[in-house]
Each structure stands twice: as structure tokens, then as C-alpha cells.
Chain A
């Protein structure tokens, strides 16, 4: 890996990412949405975030990662459902995951 190839790689990733972002913004600003469509769009965004969270919890790339992190995140989800503050939810996730790993469960 040369410096030049790394810079090119970074530029490609940055440009592609910004293109996704600004395309969404420009398309969305042209669309006129009913309030029901807006509600559905917000639901879609929430589904997307939760799907990202779930796959990030379970997988390392396309391979299952083990049990510690999924269980830690499951505990965090329980905290969120019980309306605990964000700090509690996040700390529970890390502590449960670290604790299980310390006990030898990966």
C-alpha cells in the first residue's frame, strides 16, 4: 500500500459517500410528501437504524461474531425498551459484553 493508493482509496470512499448523502437530500427536497408518507419515511429510517444495529451486533462482516456482543446488545435493547437513559443502555452493552468475554464466552 503506497501513500498515493491510500489517498486515492480515501478519495473514492469519501466521494461515493458524499454522493449518496447529497443525492438523498436533493431528491428529498424536490419531493412533496403527504404527512402519511413522511410518517412512513420516518419509520423506514428507524427500521434502517435498527437493522444496522442488529447486523452490527451479530456479525463481523458476513460471519457471526460469537455470543458476547449479541447478548450485550440484547441487554441494551431491554434497557432501551424500559426507557432507561442512553448512558445506562450503552454502559450495560459494554459491561455485559466485556463481562461475558472475561468469563470465557466469546
Chain B
């Protein structure tokens, strides 16, 4: 409660509401992940272990799907790990917010799309740090809980696709990332990068196309230099 109150005081009702909504969406995605793990034949303890120790949704979806299709878990892990290469970029971006102390070793585990997106949209370092920790810890709680619920509900609830749950992940990312695009050059580069990732996806291993989208970002610097 104390945490919630200080959170509310610092980031306001808007920030707190965003954190709660993002965590709620992640809970729903966690349930659909738990269902997928159940369908793939991954035991409940395995899916919870993945949810807590990996804490990176899309790679876990890929891992359980591959294991369910008969791929040996070690191989499935190697290909799924590629999906998480982007966390290196996120870590680099967040380094200044997370500071130098020992706590950053814990903070690093909480790096995920949603926490990063909410944090970098904030104007001050203090607000960024707070939003990052609050969202990250919230997800550390709701993702495994969702995975547990999904695992237990397997076979009882309908296919998440019928409810459009698979559209929630991209929608949340878009909802939290788009407000950061304020200037026209940034919008142009984001469009270009996203288009590039879409075109390249069929030709590269899973998770690599978004990294290749980053090749459009230096265009922002070139433009600035021309202006000077």
C-alpha cells in the first residue's frame, strides 16, 4: 500500500493507471501463454519455471511451441534465446536509469518490452526509474500468475484466439510506444524500420528482424548533421 501511495504521488494517476493496465494486459497474455504451454504438453512446473526465470513472453511462447512440436528443449532454447537479443539494446538504453548499485543486477532481470516502453516515455530520470521498477515488478508477479492460471485452466476455457487475445501483445506495445514518437523525422524512421522488419521476417531467424529495423535509426543522426 505504501508503495502504491508513493507511486501515485510521484507519477500521478495517469502513470499509475498505465502501469495497472499494462500489468492487466500482461496477466491476460500470461493466461494465454499458460494455455499454450498446457496444449504443448509442458508440465505446469515447467511453464512456471520459464515464466519466473526467463520472464520474456514471446521467447517463452516460441519455446513451448517448439517443445510441443517435438524439438529437443535445448535446441528450442537456443533458437528462442535469439528472440531476446533485443534485451541487450534495452539494457543499454536503461543503464543510466538503473544506476551503478548492486540493485541493477536485479533490475536487469525485469527488462521487458512493456516496462522499457513505459519508462522511456517519462520526462525525468526519477519518474523513469520509478515507472520501470513498478512495471517490472508488477510483471514479475502477474506473468507467472497468468501462466499458472492458464496452465490450470487448460482444456476448460476456449482457444484464446477466439477471444482475440493474441492481438493484445502487439496492441499494448503500440499503445505504450507510439506516444514517444513526437517529431516527424522520428515517425518517418519508425515507419521505415517497422516496414523493414516486416519484409525481413520470413528470411531471418525469429526475433532478428526487429533488431535489423535498428539499421534505420542512424538516419536520425545524419539528418541532424546535415541541418547543422
Residue numbers of A with Cβ under 8 A of B are 1, 3, 5-14, 16-18, 20-29, 31, 33, 36, 38-59, 61-63, 68-69, 72-73, 76-77, 79-81, 83, 85-87, 89-90, 92-99, 101-102
- Does B148 sit within 8 A of A, measured CB to CB? no
The DSSP consensus for interface residues of chain A is helix
- Complex Cα distance, B81 from A18, in Å, reads 10
Q: Contact: B86 with A28, CB < 8 Å?
A: no
Supposing A48-B211, A97-B164 touch, asked if A55 and B91 sit within 8 A by C-beta, the answer is: no
The DSSP consensus for interface residues of chain B is helix
> B residues within 8 A CB of A52?
58, 86, 113, 170, 173, 210
Other-chain contact of A40, B94, B171, B190, B221 (Cβ < 8 Å): B221
Supposing A17-B87, A40-B217, A98-B162 touch, asked if A55 and B174 sit within 8 A by C-beta, the answer is: no
* Apart from A7-B49, A41-B92, A45-B120: 13 A-B pairs, beta carbons within 8 A: A13-B50, A13-B80, A16-B81, A43-B190, A46-B180, A47-B193, A49-B113, A50-B174, A69-B164, A94-B171, A99-B164, A101-B162, A101-B164
> B residues within 8 A CB of A25?
91-92, 94-95, 98, 104, 107-108, 111
Q: Contact: B89 with A48, CB < 8 Å?
A: yes
| Number of B positions contacting A (CB below 8 A) | 99
Q: How far is the CB of A36 from chain B (nearest CB, A)?
A: 7
> A residues within 8 A CB of B170?
52-54, 56-57, 69, 73, 76, 93
**B window 45-100: CB within 8 A of A:** 46, 49-50, 53-56, 58-60, 62-63, 65, 67, 72-74, 76-78, 80-81, 84-96, 98-100
Q: Contact: B198 with A12, CB < 8 Å?
A: no
- Does B140 sit within 8 A of A, measured CB to CB? no
> B residues within 8 A CB of A79?
175
Q: Contact: B209 with A55, CB < 8 Å?
A: yes
Q: How far is the CB of A3 from chain B (nearest CB, A)?
A: 8
Query: 13 A-B contacts, Cβ less than 8 Å apart?
Result: A12-B73, A12-B78, A21-B109, A24-B93, A24-B94, A28-B96, A48-B89, A48-B213, A61-B65, A61-B206, A85-B21, A94-B165, A99-B164
> A residues within 8 A CB of B56?
17
Other-chain contact of B49, A10, A40, A61 (Cβ < 8 Å): A10
Other-chain contact of A18, B86, B109, B166, B168 (Cβ < 8 Å): B109
- Complex Cα distance, B198 from A56, in Å, reads 9
Q: How far is the CB of A101 from chain B (nearest CB, A)?
A: 7
